[in-house]
Amino acid sequence: MANNTKDTIYIDIDDEITAIIDKVKASNAKVIALVLPKRASMLQSIVNMKLLKRSADNERKNLVLVTSEAGLLPLAGAVRLHVAKTLSSAPEIPPPPQIVTDSDTIEEDMNLGLDAEEEDKPDLTEQVNPNSTTVGTLSEAAVKHNSKMVPPGVETLELPSEEDNTVTKKAKLQKPDKHLKVPNFNRFRLILVLAVVVIAAIATLLVLALTVWPHATIAIKTNASSVNAELNLTLDTSTKSLDLANQDIPATQVSEQKTFTQTVNTTGQKNEGNTATGQVTLSGTQCNINAYNGPYTIPAGTGISYNNLTYITQNDTQMTVDPIHPLSSNNCLNIVSNGPTDISAQSPGSGYNAQINNATVSNYPGINANGSASGGTDNIIQVVSQTDISTATSKIDSQQNSSGAEQNLINQLKGQGLYPVDVTFSKGTPQITTSPNVGDPANAVTVTETINYTMLGVSRADLNSVVDAAIHAQADKNQNIISTGINQQAFKLGNTNAVTDQVSLSVLAEVGPNISVNEIKKEITGKSPASAISAIKQNPDVTSVTIRLSPFWVNSVPDSASKITVKIAKPNGSA
């Protein structure tokens, strides 16, 4: 039995508490040394420590934890487990913790630890003097057990003397004070995070309130006036330089092509049946006897009309004087053809099957045709008519919206840094194609209309130069142009050709004292409203100044010029 009274079990860091308990139960030794790895997380829970102690007691085995982890000592002391730093050092029960958390109390109430009955059982670990017994000697003490305390056949440790057990009893776990509570670190951490968020929000608001939100609006009234200027401009795409004297401005043309389609059902009809054919005999009178040189020939391809039906002669017909009745009642000559004339209906259809009597011959007054035609049949099919094309085109025209093309051209010019002159917007001649074509068999026809839109743009600098020159021609050259008055409504389109557009421009400009907005901003930054007003009024042309600060807590002009807006009031009169 000496070979199985002591056992050493090495615990892996990945072992669960259930695996450790199974190893303890599987061992045949009564004294078991559990060699723990560093950072043995599975035993850093009081519940796991109690489960391990309880399973060892149930198996009547003595456990010694071989570890130097300081964090495990109070937990081992709380459940009365021996701890040794090495296998050769003396085991001892560490001092228990002085404060027990609420969770430990709850666990005890749930009988996860030792119940009251088990606490009354003798603690086998107290039967060894911790100051004099090594892990090895525990195995020798295990064979000297008190037969009155355990069933026969179960090896335990012999209790030491009363004097030897004094130190151990003093180290017993004192009754924990359940009224003491460990601080809730999760709640403390939440409060700390909320405090940081609140402080950051307050700091952000302070930065916004002191540096971002403050703004000043300066309204200045001066002795400004208005000037009317009329210009006749030539926007020329063929020139590259500004002609200030002739108001000839280089222009750039942009274009955009749009395609519109419309499909309509066809309404035309066409007869694809057989064409009627026959023969006629030509006869008539010729009253201008002196002019008749006969015989003469009526050529093939001559039209013969009967009841709104037209037949075409297929061969030349020779006309001579009727040998039987040469003279008519009015002394005119009767003429007849030498033989029958073949005819063919102008169009297919059964309607051309007819008995032809006294039909007229085109371009030969007084000549009649008599005969018949037959063999015509009907086969009506649906075809494209010109009316169908017109219907589709009118629908395209009603659905067209050139505003999209116009805006696209404006955006193109602005993208090139040019000023778009929208009165030059032009819609080209539509190019129309059909599929299928007129006369082709079809149930529907698609009409496609392609239109090219154009617009001119000019350099804003060139436009301002021309307008400024016209304004200064009427105003004092020392005055400052507050506003040129250029807007799209001021343009009117005149004559146009392939490369130039004539436009008139009527502007109402605002001129006044030469006040530099940037200089004003630079001079009043950071000043109080009273000081800023006094500084601006140093200019004799300024009649009044109003300063509005925002938000309400701002009491001085912002230090940044970008947060200052200067408005010079519109003039009251005109020059």
Cβ 526 vs Cβ 211: under 8 Å:
no
Asked which of 170, 195, 229 is the last residue of a domain, the reply is 170
CB neighbour list of residue 517: distance below 8 Å, 6 or more residues apart: 566, 568
Number of structural domains found in the chain: 4
Within a domain: residue 122? yes
Q: Which long-range contacts (CB under 8 A, 24 or more apart) does 38-44 make?
A: 38/13, 38/69, 39/13, 39/69, 40/11, 40/13, 40/67, 40/69, 40/72, 41/13, 42/11, 42/15, 42/16, 42/17, 43/17, 43/72, 43/75, 44/71, 44/72, 44/75
Within a domain: residue 231? no
Q: Report the Cα–Cα distance between both ends of the chain, in Å, rounded.
A: 128
- 309 forms beta bridges with 306
259 and 298 part of one domain: no
Asked which of 456, 487, 507 is the last residue of a domain, the reply is 456
Cβ 536 vs Cβ 545: under 8 Å:
yes
138 and 17 part of one domain: yes
- Which residue positions in the chain have pLDDT lower than 50? 1-3, 100-133, 136-173, 573-575
> Cis before residue 348, ω within 30 degrees of 0?
no
18 and 114 part of one domain: yes
CB neighbour list of residue 524: distance below 8 Å, 6 or more residues apart: 218, 531, 532, 535, 536, 557, 564
Within a domain: residue 567? no
117 and 33 part of one domain: yes
> Quick one: CA dihedral 171, 172, 175, 177, positive or negative?
positive
13 and 52 part of one domain: yes
- Classified as helix, coil or strand, 319 is strand
Q: Report d(CA 88, CA 92) in Å as an integer.
A: 13
Within a domain: residue 516? no
Would you state the pLDDT for residue 149?
38
40 and 133 part of one domain: yes
Asked which of 434, 456, 478 is the last residue of a domain, the reply is 456
Cβ 441 vs Cβ 381: under 8 Å:
yes
95 and 162 part of one domain: yes
Q: Supply the DSSP string of 352-421, one letter for each residue.
A: G-EEEEEEEETT-TTEEEEEEEE-----EEEE--HHHHHHHHHHHHHH--THHHHHHHHHHHHHTTEEEE
375: left (phi over 0), alpha (psi -120 to 50) or beta: left
Would you state the pLDDT for residue 181?
61
121 and 30 part of one domain: yes
Q: Report d(CA 570, CA 454) in Å as an integer.
A: 36
Within a domain: residue 446? yes
203 and 295 part of one domain: no
CA 26 to chain centre: 67
261 and 410 part of one domain: yes
CA 495 to chain centre: 44
Q: Report d(CA 251, CA 460) in Å as an integer.
A: 11
Within a domain: residue 490? no
State which residues form the domain around 326: 273-378
CB neighbour list of residue 130: distance below 8 Å, 6 or more residues apart: 82, 90, 91, 92, 93, 167, 168, 171
Within a domain: residue 312? yes
Give, in degrees to the nearest 5, the angle at Cα 511 between 510 and 515. 120
30 and 155 part of one domain: yes
Domain of residue 324, CATH code? 2.40.30
Cβ 12 vs Cβ 36: under 8 Å:
no
Would you state the pLDDT for residue 103?
44
- Rounded to a whole number of angstroms, the CA Rg of the chain reads 60
Within a domain: residue 224? no
349 and 424 part of one domain: no
